Structure 1
Amino acid sequence: MSLPAYSDLNSTWNFIQPGLEFILGAQGDQGVTSKMYMHCYTAVYNYCVNKSRKSDAGSSLASSYAPNADNNSYSLAGAEIYSKLETYLTQFIKGLKKEPHESLLEFYVRKWTRFTIGAVYMNNVFDYMNRYWVQKERSDGRRDIYDVNTLSLIKWRNEMFQPNSDVLIKEILDLIEKQRNNMIVDTSLISTAIKSLVFLSIDANDLKKPNLVIYVNSFEKPFLKATEEYYSRESSKFLAEHNVVDYMKKCEARLSQEISRSNNYLEEHTKNPLLDTLNNALIKNHAQEMYDQFLILLEQNQIEHIQRMYKLLYKVPDTLVHLADTLEEYIKREAGKTLEEIKVQAESQAATAASTEGTPGVNGAPTRSRRSAGSGVAIDYKTYINTLIAIYNQFNDVVIKAFSKDTRFIRSLDNACRHFVNKNPIATPTTRSNCKTPELLAKYADGFLKSTSKEADILDMNADNLMIVFKFINDKDAFEEHYRRSLAKRLINGTCKSDELEESIIHRLQEENSIEYTSKMTKMFSDMKASEDLKADVRNHVGENLVKEFNPLILAQSMWPFKYLDDYNLNVPSELQAPFEKVIEIYGSKHSGRQLKWLWNHGRAELKANLSRKGKPPFLFTVSNVQLMILIAFNKKNSYTFKELHGIVGTSRNIFEAHLLPFTKYKLMDQSPPSSGPNAGFNDDTVLTIVEEYKSKKLKVNFISNIKTNEPKQEEDEANKEIDEARKNFLSACIVRIMKSRKVCKHNDLINEVMPQTLSRFRAKPLDVKRVIDQLIEKKYIKRIEDNCYEYMT
């Protein structure tokens, strides 16, 4: 076939049209030959090259494509053949017919696949026109001119897709629904049809710019709507026939299937909206049913199912807020029940013990039973703290395993723990009670830190448990006071299990709070080490006479929780005066102007008593300082009246009686006349005689543990008073510091600034702050001015 004349448009078009038929598949499966392909390309090339010369004005059609063309100027040819191609493509696409047995989707995919392949080849046939005429027209601002491949897609969109879009999209969605219903479908139809919409989304202004307008409006929006409707129906029906656990498993399977399908035929643009749609239909809309099941799963400790619920709800973050709140309230409720049971059990045991106790007191057993079963019943500190730890560990495991350490649930656990540690039937039996947890925690620490504790009793007590509970207590200053008091007793009595262990706990308390928080405890250790040097100096000067070992401790009054008591003013016997006087002399020489006060109510002594049977070793008595002075008096004679012995020893009468009573109770001394009852006191004329032979199966006898005084109650009151005073001072310092900086401050602003500053030590109440403000006004640190404001007084 010979090539047409280059100047004849009709001849050129008639020459290339049969080739285009083969290229686009109009002749069935018979493709274009290489020879025919080259002839078509050459014909288009010849026409465009030879027409692009100086010539007379173009045709009316050419003028319409190049309205500013100059009759005598050089112009690029292509407008006429471009117009012919447009017309041809429109007719070609409209002439496509589907087979009787085909669905529209099958027809569309079959023809689209063949057409797009041909469009690529056809684009190459018109390559010269694309590179010159099309490019020039577009650079001149013509946005209705496209390269041949793009023109083919636009014609397909206008003539094939848009007239049939509703039916086509419906068939795609129907096929997707069949696949969701586990029916076998040809997924290539879905994939090819959807991808065609992406190719058809063309931006006329910028052909290279990605554009999904056809894909989004024609497919994505209906697809997401159909998806939501489908899964809303399915989920409601499934939940009506199955339990929540089975539903959660179904959700997991459905989400996995949809993600897999989306990877096969959906654009990236649709994947996130699809997940949002699925999450709303499957999870958010049924979150309440999961919430209702959550409490049941918690009670049954179904960690696996709770984890499954968490992972589903995690996909809709807003739904986790309620789940975390539910967990927090559940922990509070369960902790309250557990601690209430412990309290009731303790009250029951106390009542039983009181009713079956030996000899009744003055008021009889029933009265004592009622008192024991009341709200003031003593709870074993070990049981209490271990219960708090058990509750924490139980739900901490849930947070770790089921909620993957999600910060929301860690926060819920912390909030719940902070609540039940500070407010529970044992810690705060009444609304006005001070929290007992800090005091019980300090006793717990004292239990496993004392060397005198039995290993079996402290097997499950450790520093880690101490720090867990410490983290949650509000009144950390109360714990510091009680812990410091128990630490002081361990230090002066030499009952610390390990100095390293003591210091490690202080270090951990310091890390959790501040250096200031543990400053007094640290100074106590410094005092103990300084006392060792003093002890050595005293031993070198005094030697060993009656006193074999003397351990004086110099304690800073502001750091140690001990107070000098006039009731304990002892008379030191002459045989003991030398070491005491030497302590005063040596310490005074090193620290001029400091005053020493002896704390006779603290400390202890060990003495040998040659009161055993002949040939047996002497007894070793552990006694208080008062008891020491009493027994030393019997070195001079065997009998004294109560009045004589009291005059020798000193102290107040009630203190003297309390320390003397264990000697008569356990037959170390004979009393004449004998006591009329266990609670009977002594008369001034009562004669007390030391026994010649003490009958005890043990060689080591401790008389201190049987001393009954009001010291525990006084110590508790003193500790509470110290805590209150320290809080007032802390609040005063905060207020003065704020007012000094602000000069003038409104009442509410001052309260709001003070409250957060107290959280590291205690939870201040607005009423407490107001009382301190009133005290500072009285002391003229600040003054009240108008508009409910305060002014700092310089």
Structure 2
Amino acid sequence: MSSTLPAFTDLNATWTFIQPGLEFILGAQNDQGVTSTMYMNCYTAVYNYCVNKSRRGSTPQSISNNTENNSYSLAGAEIYSKLELYLIQFIKNLKKQPNESFLEFYVRKWTRFTIGAVYMNNVFDYMNRYWVQKERSDGRKDVFDVNTLSLIKWRNEMFQPNNEILINQILELIEKQRNHLIVDTNLISTAIKSLVFLSIDIQDLKKPNLIIYVNSFEKPFLDSTMAYYLKESSEYLANHNVVDYMKKCETRIAEEISRSNTFLEDHSKKAFINILNKSMIENHAYEMYDQFLILLQQNQIDHIQRMYKLLSRVPKTLDPLANALEEYIKREANSVIEEIQKQSEQDIKDGKKKTIEPKIYINKLISIYNQFNDVVIKAFNKDTKFIRSLDNACRYFVNNNCIAIPKPRSSCKTPELLARYADGFLKSTSKDSDIIDMNSDNLMIIFKFINDKDTFEENYRRLLAKRLIHGNFKSEELEESVIHKLQEENSIEYTSKMTKMFSDMKASEDLKLKVKSKLGDDVTVKEFTPMILAQASWPFTYNKLYNLNIPNELSDTITKLKEVYSAQHHGRQLKFLFNHGRAEIKANLSKKGKPAFIFQVTNIQLMILLAFNSKDSYTIDELHEIVGCEKSIFQSHLSALIKYKLIIEENNLLTIVEEYKSKKLKVNFISAVKTTTNQQIEEEDEVKNEINESRKQFLQAAIVRIMKSRKTITNTNLLNEVLLQCVNFEAKIIDIKKVIDDLIEKEYLKRDGSNYEYIA
């Protein structure tokens, strides 16, 4: 290359001068680089030509679309045209070596060409900044800076004619990589990256554009990936088990993601991951589902977790897995509970017990829940979908099993058994060894799943009432903590009656102190605990069959109690529930020199024994008349005293013993009082009636609230809205319709065809 610069007005001389330098810049001379002198000479020659050559008139129409009649215009069109032709010819003359693949040739030449294009862009810097910029601002979209022009010519002359062979060789190399053969990864990444550079939007050079990359590489790549893994996964599953296949999937997906990060554009990654998931996971989900139940039975938590992680990559495939878990839990639970029932029936037949033990039943429900809760936590990472499946399954088997519903259409027994379970660990008389695995946390787990929470509340409240009035509770703090938990899980209204019961107990204690301060020293009963219970909160009803005649020993105390209470609360009526009270009585029936006995007795037994302070013997009728309750009730309480030989019955004459023989100084006669079948039935009926009445009132209030708000509503919508409000029990449609009919009768509502109108 000559060091003498050409005349700036001579286009051909200028081009002849710079062309050898361009050859060196673009690497045509065996990749020999350009010298700094040669580079500066080329730059100066182009600069001189563009700056100093001026022309009159418009540029030729073939080069310029400029329609203005300028007296002076920037030079550059002619040399730009020569450069464009040169680039076309240069790229066409590039030749592949005999021993290299087209991909190797392409990457080698592309790498050198793009480096040279950057330098060449600098050589034509003045033309870029002035002439090219002016032409593009005038609307010329076919004029580009030299670097962009070079890429466009490479795309047109090198890539497009050889598109298919290049992409095929890229995909072949990727497949070899998948087959764990050693390949030059630089060939893959460089070739693919070239497609991104070649994706040029000639209308807006600054706008990101991946059209070449997407159409030429992304689509074939995704298709080939799908085909490869569809084939591999099917072949692998045909010769291996599902667990091995899942391990293979994990490895393959990790490999592909790691590999693809070296050459894949972000635009493709989501679609690529979807292809992997579809070919390896979604297409073989059913094989995994079939294995899932086997893994559950074998408690293979690690493999279940592996399955979950794979399927979670395709969220819709988790639904059948969650459904399968739910159904499996139901089946397993029913099987376990059936075993409990069979064992219980055998124990009852053998006389070992009378009914199913709440502790055994509830603890088994808890163990089932804990078993599968561990699976959900460890294998399914606390996924809400699987938590919901566990909850649904638990709600089903807690409320629908052979113990919960022993007969078709019978009410669920689980709420009652749960209440008795709670009573077991809250009673002070329970042995620690018997309640070691019973606690309020377990109670709340099952409480969450029972449908008829109102049934639980009624039974729990009745048992709580007995614990409170008999002083048979471990601690007030423990009782209140359970009530607080029930309130948190449900509502303040749900536990309002229980809370009021504790208030009544505290008020009763205050009343006792006031009465004791009013009593003199000459009263027979100095220690007593009156309990004033609000009828609305406590589950007790007045029963006139238990009315007792108050003996002289108690009359002063009871009279003073009435006086003090009436002074505090005007207009309130006191009714004595003698069937629920109990007493301790000191009995001097022991040998001389030994302390007196303390008898724990019911109120009826108290009246019977106090009668013997007057004389030693009575006929049954005489004693019954003195005591005063219904005859059969009197006899059931008397029989306990006769059974344990405190009273001797001979020839219809009842006589108190002069000396009672017992190793214990404190004797309990209360537990010996037998509850008759009729009494049990009456109590069960009372509970049912209370629940039914409470539900009826709730439904009436719900319907009236809805109707007041809506004024008119269709039958279907009213039923649906009422059902939504029934959170503490499962309302039956027939019961709602009966309540609607009652409200129509009471003229709260009016029926108009299939609609209801509020008229109250």
Measure the CA separation in 2 of the matches of 1:167 and 1:57.
45
Structure 1 residues 694-705: aligned runs within 5 Å: 694-705=660-671
Residue 29 of structure 1 and its aligned partner are, at CA, apart by: 2.5
Measure the CA separation in 1 of the matches of 2:643 and 2:736.
51
- What residue number does 1:443 align with? 420
Output the amino acid matched with 1:489: K
Matched, 1:531 2:519: no
Alignment check: 8 A CA contact 1:57 1:71 kept? yes
Alignment check: 8 A CA contact 2:636 2:673 kept? yes
Output the amino acid matched with 2:159: F
Measure the CA separation in 1 of the matches of 2:590 and 2:70.
145
Residue 548 of structure 1 and its aligned partner are, at CA, apart by: 3.3
Residue 492 of structure 1 and its aligned partner are, at CA, apart by: 0.6
- What residue number does 1:615 align with? 593
1:316 to 279, 291, 314: 314
- What residue number does 2:329 align with? 331
Residue 191 of structure 1 and its aligned partner are, at CA, apart by: 0.8
Residue 397 of structure 1 and its aligned partner are, at CA, apart by: 0.9
Point out the more displaced range, 77-86 or 724-733. 77-86
2:612 to 634, 649, 655: 634
Measure the CA separation in 1 of the matches of 2:593 and 2:468.
37
Residues 579, 229 of structure 1: CA spacing in aligned structure 2 closer, same or farther, 3 A cutoff?
Answer: same
- What residue number does 1:743 align with? 711
Deviations 1:307-330 (A, max 9, x none): 111111111000111111111111
Deviations 1:447-485 (A, max 9, x none): 111111111111111111111111111111111111111
Measure the CA separation in 2 of the matches of 1:179 and 1:72.
61
- What residue number does 1:44 align with? 46
2:524 to 523, 532, 546: 546
Alignment check: 8 A CA contact 1:385 1:444 kept? yes
Alignment check: 8 A CA contact 2:57 2:71 kept? no
Output the amino acid matched with 1:440: L
Number of paired residues?
A: 755
Matched, 1:772 2:739: yes
Measure the CA separation in 2 of the matches of 1:143 and 1:561.
91
Measure the CA separation in 2 of the matches of 1:509 and 1:533.
28
- What residue number does 1:426 align with? 403
- What residue number does 1:454 align with? 431
TM-score (norm 1): 0.94
Measure the CA separation in 2 of the matches of 1:746 and 1:30.
90
- What residue number does 2:754 align with? 788
Matched, 1:99 2:100: no
Alignment check: 8 A CA contact 2:712 2:758 kept? yes
Output the amino acid matched with 1:184: I
Output the amino acid matched with 1:520: K
1:500 to 469, 477, 480: 477
- The RMSD of aligned alpha carbons is 1.3
Output the amino acid matched with 1:479: F
- What residue number does 1:30 align with? 32
Q: Secondary structure at the match of 1:704?
A: coil
Measure the CA separation in 2 of the matches of 1:301 and 1:689.
68
TM-score (norm 2): 0.98
Residues 632, 70 of structure 1: CA spacing in aligned structure 2 closer, same or farther, 3 A cutoff?
Answer: closer
Residue 69 of structure 1 and its aligned partner are, at CA, apart by: 5.0
2:108 to 107, 110, 120: 110
Deviations 1:382-437 (A, max 9, x none): 01111111111111111111111111111111111111111111111223011111
Measure the CA separation in 2 of the matches of 1:495 and 1:708.
19
Residue 142 of structure 1 and its aligned partner are, at CA, apart by: 0.9
Measure the CA separation in 1 of the matches of 2:22 and 2:589.
131
Measure the CA separation in 1 of the matches of 2:685 and 2:359.
23
- What residue number does 1:681 align with? none
2:192 to 191, 194, 218: 194
Residues 732, 70 of structure 1: CA spacing in aligned structure 2 closer, same or farther, 3 A cutoff?
Answer: closer
Measure the CA separation in 1 of the matches of 2:65 and 2:691.
97
Output the amino acid matched with 1:180: R
1:758 to 723, 726, 734: 726
Runs of 4+ with deviation above 4 angstroms: 69-72
Measure the CA separation in 2 of the matches of 1:486 and 1:774.
35
- What residue number does 2:255 align with? 257
Output the amino acid matched with 1:654: S
Measure the CA separation in 2 of the matches of 1:73 and 1:66.
15
- What residue number does 2:349 align with? 351
Measure the CA separation in 2 of the matches of 1:590 and 1:38.
115
- What residue number does 2:144 align with? 146
Deviations 1:12-55 (A, max 9, x none): 1111111111111111021111111111111111111122x242
Deviations 1:207-245 (A, max 9, x none): 122111000100010000000100110111111111111
- What residue number does 1:717 align with? 685
Alignment check: 8 A CA contact 1:48 1:128 kept? yes
Output the amino acid matched with 1:703: F
Alignment check: 8 A CA contact 1:668 1:691 kept? yes
Measure the CA separation in 1 of the matches of 2:504 and 2:57.
116
Measure the CA separation in 2 of the matches of 1:212 and 1:71.
40
Structure 1 residues 34-73: aligned runs within 5 Å: 34-51=36-53, 53-55=54-56, 58=59, 62-68=60-66, 73=71
Deviations 1:136-160 (A, max 9, x none): 1111111111111111111111111
Output the amino acid matched with 1:55: R
Matched, 1:482 2:483: no
- What residue number does 1:267 align with? 265
Matched, 1:670 2:653: no
- What residue number does 1:365 align with? none
Q: Secondary structure at the match of 1:265?
A: coil
Residues 17, 258 of structure 1: CA spacing in aligned structure 2 closer, same or farther, 3 A cutoff?
Answer: same
Residue 643 of structure 1 and its aligned partner are, at CA, apart by: 0.8
Alignment check: 8 A CA contact 1:655 1:709 kept? no
Residues 443, 263 of structure 1: CA spacing in aligned structure 2 closer, same or farther, 3 A cutoff?
Answer: same
Alignment check: 8 A CA contact 1:54 1:72 kept? no
Alignment check: 8 A CA contact 1:619 1:700 kept? yes
Measure the CA separation in 2 of the matches of 1:57 and 1:343.
105
Structure 1 residues 589-600: aligned runs within 5 Å: 589-600=567-578
Measure the CA separation in 2 of the matches of 1:783 and 1:10.
104
Alignment check: 8 A CA contact 2:58 2:66 kept? no
Deviations 1:696-725 (A, max 9, x none): 222211111111133333222111110000
Measure the CA separation in 2 of the matches of 1:326 and 1:431.
27
Residue 612 of structure 1 and its aligned partner are, at CA, apart by: 1.7
Q: What residue ranges of structure 1 are gaps of 5+ in the alignment?
A: 355-371, 674-685
Alignment check: 8 A CA contact 1:55 1:71 kept? no
- What residue number does 2:17 align with? 15
Residues 574, 116 of structure 1: CA spacing in aligned structure 2 closer, same or farther, 3 A cutoff?
Answer: same
Q: Secondary structure at the match of 2:350?
A: helix
Measure the CA separation in 2 of the matches of 1:82 and 1:726.
95
Measure the CA separation in 1 of the matches of 2:187 and 2:116.
19
- What residue number does 1:243 align with? 241
Q: What residue ranges of structure 2 are gaps of 5+ in the alignment?
A: none
Residue 746 of structure 1 and its aligned partner are, at CA, apart by: 1.4
Alignment check: 8 A CA contact 1:69 1:75 kept? no
Measure the CA separation in 2 of the matches of 1:19 and 1:438.
95
Measure the CA separation in 1 of the matches of 2:64 and 2:360.
98
Output the amino acid matched with 1:789: N
Residue 68 of structure 1 and its aligned partner are, at CA, apart by: 3.5
Deviations 1:473-523 (A, max 9, x none): 111111111111111111110112111111111111111111111111111
Measure the CA separation in 2 of the matches of 1:388 and 1:452.
25
Measure the CA separation in 1 of the matches of 2:712 and 2:639.
62
